[in-house]
Structure 1
Amino acid sequence: MGEPARHTEGPRRSERASRRLTRALRSTAVVAGTLALLGAAGVVPALAAPAQPGLAAVSPDFPVTVTISSVQPPAPTAGDSLQISGTVTNSGSTPLKAAQVGLSLGRGSTPLANRYAIGTMLARTDPASADGKPLAAPVSPVGDLAPGASTAFHLPPVAISDLKLDPSEGSAVYELAVQVQAGTNDDPASHEVGIARSVLPYFSDPKDVPQKTQVATVWPLTHQAELVTQTLDTDQSPVLRDDSLATDLAPNGRLGQLLSLGEQIPSLTWVIDPALLDAVTAMTKPYRVQLPGHSGEPAHSDNTVAGTGTAVATHWLDELRHAVTQKGDEVVALPYGDPDLASIAHNGSGLSGLSTVLGKAQVAGQVTVEGRLMVDPVGDIAWPYQGALDPQTAQVAQQLGGSKIIVSSASVSDPQLSYTPNAARPLPNGQTALVADSTIADLFANDLATPEARSAAEQRFLAETLAMTRQQPSTQRTLLVMPPRNLTAQSAQTLQDALLKSGQWTNPVTLDTVAGTPADPATADTTVQPADAYPAALRAGELPSSNLGQVADVQGQMDLLLQILTNPGRVSSPFSAAMMSSVSTSWRTDAKAGDDYRTNVSKNMGQLVNAVSIPKKSNKITLAGNEGVLQVSVKNDLTQPVINLELRLTSNQPYRVSVSKPQNISLSSAQSVSAKFLAQAQGNGVVQMTAQLYTVGPNPQPYGEPVKFSVEVSQVPNGVWWVVGAGVLLVLLAGLRFFLQRRKRKGEPDDDPDAPLVDPDAPDGAGEALDAEDGPDSRPSADGGTNPSESDSRPTPEGTAAHP
């Protein structure tokens, strides 16, 4: 992008300076006189007039905005002709007269010494003598320009030999400045009124580069999660939250163009979110799309519509399988759903359910990419958002199996070197940082939607890579190019063009090649920037702990549900995928869509868990009598049987109302049962009962919400209490009598336990008389007396006790 003119050093400088000084003195005199008349005590600075809409604010002395839309060829060689085009806009308030556009290559056509000099030149906001004087040719007149008027310019082709480049420098990078000169009302003579800067990488001879720089480029294929956990109730067709993926997969869509552009880049490293492959695979068959406003609802034919992307999804997936198997290409499988490592590291502490989600992501990513694309993907590479890294994020990456991390050079400490070191650098924790050049990464961070933006990015990329290669031309070097995850089609086109055009001094390789190249000895002590150096803007866009906690809660609910299902795979597969996608890096750029997606997952899980439940009971149940049966219903609204459940009924006053043991519950799909509990009551009144389902196993857990109800006991006979009380009294009296007898006989030998029971206080002989009277053969006669003859004839058996 060309830069607006603000200040310069050029022809007729002293005359213009004199005129500006005169105008300033006149203005000062007018202001001073006015303030004196008004009696002002101080000077208030005047407000600048607002700039015209769509135009950059420029200074009055340099009112022209210049943009460069095309440099052809972007990297000329000997024998080429250079042609430049762009736009000139009069952003000032006065007309420009006889404007013309010229070209300069820096003062003395001296090349820029290194990458630092390139950045310094492009960062200048004020024109300076270092920009050099316009060349005699080429020149393009653009005529008069009224305030706000714009016009395109096309400089005539100029042979590279006519630019008088320094032949002793060979291949080099030059400043490319487009300058505009015109007359104004205040200064009718032609003078500089605007400038735009770019760079010109000139490659003169392949011998200038004995060793090409090895450049690895990560080519991201990611998309926001589309598959939801619901399936259509009739035929179990997959359901997507919208049909935007169909648009992206089309030949003119973002993913469609990324695929076709990537196919043309040799030795490319494809970095793929496995969740995208699952969504595209689902679309290759009939699928449904949720209607707006129905997120979280069970999917029916009336709240979904048929998807439209089956054909484009099938074609895209077939093309991708062909592309990634090209000779020299490499596939990196991100963890499933592309979890946001930094968000988890900074805001996910203590969420055990989240650890379970991450544990599945790495394995699922490998398996999915391998199964969908029939390739052997690389799975030990982590890629935090925009390559920003701190120690916490590095630790989470390591837990996910990321022994190598794609890192921005802004996140690692680099020694002060006169050259750009190799991309692979060891970290103290045993990981390897694959360092992407942040200057080059920034070129493609945004959508290059205009010709000016695309030209500026392409020229800068070519200049930076040529300058890097020329730093140590005889030493093999490596470079990592890291575009953003949401790389746009136009930015991808620019990057592809730049990669192919830099082939004179670069050689495309895979990420694995870069990772295997030994690090520069000077970078052996590379460390990660501390946590407080993590970019504040990126931290502000992280997923908050509440979002991560929501996902952890869903994981806990799913773990509980899976214990009771006879076919757990029907739930675990879609929900595990959805939870991994719920913490995706893709939500960084669309927080609302991420919130909606997580809410959909949470609602659907809640519906499944609550489908097995205890229906609410009436507030009070009457139990007549001291015994009765209490019935508690359990229903299963799922489409599969459930097992491993136990129903417990407990009383909050068990000494008043007690119930029988818990009962095991097994239910077929869409079935309800009533469990019966025997209740025993010891008194009248109201007692609260609680019914609760529990899982069966070594660690039983409550399942679902408890149901509370009241039992009113009535008509328990009062005599029950008298019987109980009398029984207790008899026991106490018996014990007291035994105690008193033992005290009385203290010191005497114990009685023979087999001896007859005799009253110790009876007179002598009473025992014998009692035995005689109450012997077993003494029976009352018909008139109530005894029969002495029978008594005398049969003696009492020896040792038999007499009883009254």
Structure 2
Amino acid sequence: MIHPRGRSVWAVLVVLLLVLAPAALPPRAAAEPETQFLRVELSRVTPELVDTASDPTVTVEASIVNVGDRPVNDVVARLERAQPLAATTGLRTTLTEVATTGYEPVGPFLDIPGPLQPGERASVRFDYPLRSVGAESLGIDHPGVYPLLVNVNGTPDFGSPARLADTRFLLPVLGAPSASGDPESFAGPDDATGPDVVIVPDTTRPVRLTMLWPLADRPRLAPGLPGGATPIRLIDDELATELSPGGRLDALLSTVEFATAAESDPDGDLTGALCLAVDPDLLVTVNAMTGGYLVPANPDGTGDLRPGTGEAAAVAWLDRLRKLADRMCVTALPYAQTDLDAVQRVGDDQLSAFATTGAEDLVDQLLGVTSLRGLTVFGDGPLTPDALALLNHNGTAVAIAPASATAESTPDLGRRRVSDQVAVAPFDPSVAATLGALGDQPVTPGYLDTSLVPDRPESSAAARRQDAVGAVLWQSLHPDAEPRDQILAPPPNWGVSPDDATAVLRALSTLLGSGLATPLPLPNLIAETATLPGPPTPVDEFPTAARFDDSVIGAISDQSARLRGLTEALGTNAQTGLTGQAYTAPLREDMLRALSQSQPLDDRNGRAHRALQSVGGTIADLFGAVQIINPGGSYTLATERSPLPLAFRNDLAVPIRVRLLVDGPPGMTVGDVGELELPPGFLPVKVPIEVHFTQRFAVDVAVQTPGGLPLGEPVRLSLHSNAYGKVLFFVTLVAGATLALLTGRRLWHRFRGRPDRADLEPPEADHLHWPHRTPEEPGGKP
């Protein structure tokens, strides 16, 4: 039993604990609430890449936005730093929601004037030296890629102090400048140094660098239009904006034009490290736009068609690309960024060849260059066993593909042979995905493991740019990392802004100029990889969530088989020069576009089915365009060998070879007319038949390709035959013989001077009312 005085003492202690407990807690360190009140947007980092010639002070500017429904009081912010990344997987894992440990404050919290009202924005700026003898500095004196974090705390109305928001980004450091800006000496990264000694990077093991510079876009051509149709139709007019000055494709082209010019790259190192990776579907679309095109009037793809606005931009962009391609390495991406795993599952050799080797021929034709051969780039999907089987069949020597990696495992980037025909040169998926996050519409590649997909998509464009530069530099800043070759392969549909593209190329130039990297031209990479010895090793395992449904594969398999059979029967239009292959090529291209990996993953199968419906309808129309004209009445055959007159209508733009199927009743024989070539328009044809009966009957006539595919609709003709067959022949023969016999008898009697009975006058028969003639009348008796 507690004494009453004891109870009062305990009560006082409890009150004191409740009062003093908040003071004992770290200030503003409560857990971040589930409701989002604030958002932090990184505005600028200066310098964005630290080297030995940089200013020794690093400036970080950010904006704090109240995105909640109530004011936030006592807003404070501070800058924090973590240890440099030890693996490239950290490029992704440091951006996840739970990656808040390991950060240490660089300095104290800074007060933000407030309260911050809903929708209101405030700015904060941090200026800290990179190195200093004092406490308030970033404390960075070794090269590396360092994660930084802006931490914002505050107290929402009706709430308690808490951590309300943060933003993370990377600061790449190639070398540490002197803290005073006046260097005393230079030292290596492992030497013990003071703050006024410049720390230079280790360039004893430079990385051989290759970067694919993608020029691609998602499919824009309206599906279901055969070759020769003019003007072409696009599903929207967004490509006109991308090709125009300031657009995405213009920025990709402009930045590489400037960076590889003789004035910017006098030694040609950057030009040697870069290779344009071009999607042939983009070239086909842009080239078609140069002749004028139509788009739907409404942004949602509905409404009447109107002329597109990008004709002039397409002409200018394509002309610039041709000039650039003439002095740079060029390679072809798979046509329309198609999923080669899905193409192999379709099982059509023609589609498989067109997606790979045919893509190279298109690039050569449209750009007037000779693109690299023997290479297949997997820019947005993994190299799977099915895709490898396709490469083996098509004779591909080298595949550039992502390595497998998770948050717990580092990728194996060593080049190796995966079959007797194919060797793979892998690239780091974390680096590629970090590059893909650039721009206003970040791209998450389909091959990326879910553990490497950050759950903080609200990071600003400036933060993603810092991360991308850090990703480009990481391997060069780690001389112990293996291998010493690096392939940078952003996703094909790369959504960079002009500032993003400039930052990436500036980072590459800095690497090459500093001695941390040397160029590895893509032709050299292909030659080295293609000659790797065996034995083959299995391809990496990847998640299959991004695979196309079997229903999509089955639909394409059926359509491609029918289209192939039709194409084999088509000829060349002598007037226009249009070939059957060119006439049906857009429909085969539509099938590959339906398998494009550039489409959003959540609606990939739905978009494919919608496109294939249009393609299937057009293929059905092509088969129905060759018809037998039904006269609507009946034919009368004058003799048993009268030909059957038919008329054909060919609404295709090219000639077609066909065979006739004539099905009649027993007693009718049909002659073989062989293969007929029907030109566009109308063509009458006479089919030899022989009928051995006299009656009305029906004949079914159908037309098909030489391979047996039916064309149009069969027609039933009504015929009437006047032929008597053998009976008529014998009746005619007997009648002729009788006539000859009677004629011969009369002539015999006249020759002998005896009247023939046939020459005698019939007896008078008045009762028969025969007319009487006098002897004087002609014909009278003497």
Cα RMSD of the aligned pairs, angstroms, is 4.7
Q: Secondary structure at the match of 1:155?
A: strand
Q: Are residue 153 (structure 1) and residue 123 (structure 2) matched? A: yes
Aligned residue in 2 for 1:206: 200
Aligned residue in 2 for 1:546: 555
The sequence identity of aligned pairs, in percent, is 19
> Cα gap change, 1:17/1:447 in structure 2, threshold over 3 Å: closer, same or farther?
farther
Q: Are residue 691 (structure 1) and residue 701 (structure 2) matched? A: yes
Deviation for aligned residue 1:392: 0.8
The answer to whether the 8 Å contact 2:663/2:701 transfers is yes
Corresponding letter in the other structure for 2:684: V
| Whole-angstrom distance in 2 between the partners of 1:247 and 1:192 | 41
| Whole-angstrom distance in 1 between the partners of 2:159 and 2:730 | 124
Q: Secondary structure at the match of 2:151?
A: strand
Kindly report which structure 2 residues correspond to 1:509-588, keeping only aligned pairs within 5 A, or say none: 509-515=520-526, 527-530=538-541, 533-539=542-548, 543-562=552-571, 569-584=578-593, 585-586=595-596, 588=598
Aligned residue in 2 for 1:390: 384
The answer to whether the 8 Å contact 1:239/1:288 transfers is yes
Q: Are residue 135 (structure 1) and residue 135 (structure 2) matched? A: no
> Cα gap change, 1:209/1:124 in structure 2, threshold over 3 Å: closer, same or farther?
farther
Deviation for aligned residue 1:105: 2.4
The answer to whether the 8 Å contact 1:103/1:135 transfers is yes
Aligned residue in 2 for 1:469: 476
Q: Are residue 427 (structure 1) and residue 427 (structure 2) matched? A: no
Corresponding letter in the other structure for 1:500: R
Deviation per residue, 1:122-151 (Å, 9 max, x gap) = 4462744x3224514xx6421233574643
> Cα gap change, 1:325/1:534 in structure 2, threshold over 3 Å: closer, same or farther?
same
Q: Are residue 613 (structure 1) and residue 627 (structure 2) matched? A: yes
| Whole-angstrom distance in 1 between the partners of 2:69 and 2:235 | 52
Corresponding letter in the other structure for 1:616: N
Kindly report which structure 2 residues correspond to 1:625-704, keeping only aligned pairs within 5 A, or say none: 630-637=644-651, 642=655, 645-651=658-664, 653-654=665-666, 656-662=667-673, 665=676, 669-682=680-693, 684=695, 687-693=697-703, 701=708, 704=711
| Whole-angstrom distance in 2 between the partners of 1:195 and 1:181 | 9
Aligned residue in 1 for 2:249: 255
Corresponding letter in the other structure for 1:142: I
Deviation for aligned residue 1:446: 4.7
Aligned residue in 2 for 1:769: none
| Whole-angstrom distance in 1 between the partners of 2:722 and 2:536 | 87
| Whole-angstrom distance in 1 between the partners of 2:308 and 2:19 | 68
The answer to whether the 8 Å contact 1:240/1:289 transfers is yes
Corresponding letter in the other structure for 2:170: V
Q: Are residue 456 (structure 1) and residue 470 (structure 2) matched? A: no
Corresponding letter in the other structure for 1:650: D
Which structure 2 residue ranges, 5 or more long, are not aligned?
A: 1-16, 26-30, 177-198, 260-269, 299-303, 442-457, 732-782
Aligned residue in 1 for 2:429: 438
> Cα gap change, 1:668/1:562 in structure 2, threshold over 3 Å: closer, same or farther?
closer
Q: Secondary structure at the match of 1:537?
A: coil
Deviation for aligned residue 1:93: 8.0
| Whole-angstrom distance in 1 between the partners of 2:376 and 2:592 | 15
| Whole-angstrom distance in 1 between the partners of 2:574 and 2:20 | 87
The answer to whether the 8 Å contact 2:425/2:529 transfers is no
The answer to whether the 8 Å contact 2:395/2:421 transfers is no
Relative to the length of structure 2, the TM-score reads 0.69
Corresponding letter in the other structure for 1:216: T
Kindly report which structure 2 residues correspond to 1:720-731, keeping only aligned pairs within 5 A, or say none: 720=727
Deviation for aligned residue 1:288: 4.0
The answer to whether the 8 Å contact 1:362/1:401 transfers is no
Kindly report which structure 2 residues correspond to 1:21-420, keeping only aligned pairs within 5 A, or say none: 58-59=32-33, 65-77=39-51, 79-89=55-65, 96-106=72-82, 111-115=84-88, 121-123=94-96, 125=98, 127-128=100-101, 130-136=102-108, 140-146=110-116, 148=118, 150-162=120-132, 163-164=136-137, 170-182=142-154, 194-202=165-173, 203-204=175-176, 205-223=199-217, 224-226=219-221, 229=225, 243-265=237-259, 266-267=270-271, 268-284=274-290, 286-289=291-294, 307-326=308-327, 329-346=328-345, 348-349=346-347, 354-384=348-378, 386-410=380-404
Deviation for aligned residue 1:672: 3.1
Corresponding letter in the other structure for 2:48: P
Deviation for aligned residue 1:243: 4.6
Corresponding letter in the other structure for 1:75: L
Deviation per residue, 1:16-56 (Å, 9 max, x gap) = 9956999xxxxxxxxxxxxxxxxxxxxxxxxxxxxxxxxxx
Deviation for aligned residue 1:538: 4.3
| Whole-angstrom distance in 1 between the partners of 2:529 and 2:652 | 57
Aligned residue in 1 for 2:183: none
The answer to whether the 8 Å contact 1:410/1:438 transfers is yes
| Whole-angstrom distance in 2 between the partners of 1:619 and 1:16 | 107
| Whole-angstrom distance in 2 between the partners of 1:96 and 1:212 | 50
| Whole-angstrom distance in 2 between the partners of 1:84 and 1:276 | 39
Deviation for aligned residue 1:719: 11
Deviation for aligned residue 1:649: 2.8
Q: Secondary structure at the match of 1:387?
A: coil
> Cα gap change, 1:616/1:157 in structure 2, threshold over 3 Å: closer, same or farther?
same
| Whole-angstrom distance in 2 between the partners of 1:525 and 1:668 | 53
Moved more, 504-513 or 80-89: 504-513
Moved more, 144-153 or 564-573: 564-573
Corresponding letter in the other structure for 1:104: E
> Cα gap change, 1:416/1:180 in structure 2, threshold over 3 Å: closer, same or farther?
closer
| Whole-angstrom distance in 2 between the partners of 1:113 and 1:668 | 70
Relative to the length of structure 1, the TM-score reads 0.67
The answer to whether the 8 Å contact 1:231/1:239 transfers is no
**Rg bigger for which structure?**
1
The answer to whether the 8 Å contact 1:423/1:434 transfers is yes
The answer to whether the 8 Å contact 1:614/1:707 transfers is yes
> Cα gap change, 1:158/1:381 in structure 2, threshold over 3 Å: closer, same or farther?
same
Q: Secondary structure at the match of 1:635?
A: strand
Deviation per residue, 1:494-541 (Å, 9 max, x gap) = 2541342352444554433444567999998753135xx433134469
Deviation for aligned residue 1:562: 3.0
> Cα gap change, 1:593/1:467 in structure 2, threshold over 3 Å: closer, same or farther?
closer
| Whole-angstrom distance in 2 between the partners of 1:94 and 1:218 | 48
The answer to whether the 8 Å contact 1:261/1:496 transfers is yes
Which structure 1 residue ranges, 5 or more long, are not aligned?
A: 1-13, 23-56, 294-302, 725-804
Deviation per residue, 1:755-801 (Å, 9 max, x gap) = xxxxxxxxxxxxxxxxxxxxxxxxxxxxxxxxxxxxxxxxxxxxxxx
| Whole-angstrom distance in 1 between the partners of 2:505 and 2:651 | 58
Number of residue pairs matched by the alignment:
639
| Whole-angstrom distance in 2 between the partners of 1:220 and 1:618 | 60
Corresponding letter in the other structure for 1:69: S
Aligned residue in 1 for 2:449: none
| Whole-angstrom distance in 2 between the partners of 1:16 and 1:720 | 129
Corresponding letter in the other structure for 1:692: A
Q: Secondary structure at the match of 2:107?
A: coil
